Structure 1
Amino acid sequence: MKTAGSEPGAVSGMILTLLAIIWCVGVPVCLWQMIGASLGYPEGDREGAKAWETAAIVILAGAPVLATGICVFTGRVVRAWILGLIAVAIAGFVATGLYLDARQAELRRPPPPLPSGYCAEYSGGDSDCPGG
């Protein structure tokens, strides 16, 4: 007599179910914690909010990748394709977000300092600059 746990795919099925629960519950919980950390009084906790955001992104992108790998190794072809497409779409969104974040950081960067000995001439007065 076989029990439910003795089938070859039972363990991988339980792991896939656990990954689905972590994916569906973990991401909203992390985002909720991120919002709570960023709205703290008197100032928001930027490091805490960034840590919760990172955790949400890792769960959001990591769970489908792990589930795809499990499905590939256990022969669940249709689920592997579906989860693989979800993983690729999420990876695209994450890469786009990282690119936009890096682009915004580049735009907010202060201008480079002026070279030493730089002299600006102003109209309406004497020039203190050498050669002028």
Structure 2
Amino acid sequence: MDTKPGGASGMTLGILAIIWFFGVPLCLWQSLVAGLGSPAGNRAEMDAWVTAAAVIFTVVPILAAGICAFTGRVVRAWIFGLVATVCVGLVLAGLYRAERQAESRRPPPPLPSGYCAEFSGGDSDCPGG
């Protein structure tokens, strides 16, 4: 790639910007449509669109920072690097939040075999008690 502003690297950065600004909202819109398309919602399709949005959201600034660093655009490389860092942080925070919510919805582990609970006010049927 050349370092001229109108060269192939500049065109690549423009294409990446278009993909980033239009791809992420389009993927999120498709996720919303997939969720509203049926009564129960198509969870697998929704998750696929959200994953695609997260990939575009994080990968495009990383690629742009790499292109800028490779072509000697130092200030733009720093800007895209900071944007990429924020985007990755937001995606990781969302994944952490989703995992915490999934953990709170898990059923408690089953009781061990042979478990015997004593109840107050009654006879104990437990062995040894």
Q: Same fold (TM over 0.5)?
A: yes
Q: Match for residue 35 of structure 1?
A: 32
Residue 131 in structure 1 maps to residue 128 in structure 2 = yes
For the residues of structure 2 that align with 1:41 and 1:80, how far apart are their CA atoms?
44
For the residues of structure 1 that align with 2:31 and 2:86, how far apart are their CA atoms?
23
* SS of residue matched to 2:123: coil
Cα shift at 1:118 = 0.6
Cα shift at 1:41 = 2.2
Q: Match for residue 60 of structure 2?
A: 63
* SS of residue matched to 1:23: helix
Cα shift at 1:42 = 2.4
Which amino acid is 1:21 matched to? Answer: I
Q: Match for residue 79 of structure 1?
A: 76
For the residues of structure 2 that align with 1:98 and 1:124, how far apart are their CA atoms?
47
TM-score, normalising length from structure 2? 0.92
- Identical aligned pairs, as a percentage? 64
Counting only pairs closer than 5 Å after superposition, residues 1-132 of structure 1 correspond to structure 2 as 9=4, 10-132=7-129
Count of residue pairs the alignment pairs up = 126
Q: Give every structure 1 segment of 4 or more consecutive aligned residues whose post-TM-superposition deviation is greater than 4 Å.
A: none
For the residues of structure 2 that align with 1:99 and 1:107, how far apart are their CA atoms?
12
RMSD: 1.2
Cα shift at 1:8 = 5.0
Unaligned runs of 5+ in 2: none
Unaligned runs of 5+ in 1: 1-6
For the residues of structure 2 that align with 1:96 and 1:36, how far apart are their CA atoms?
24
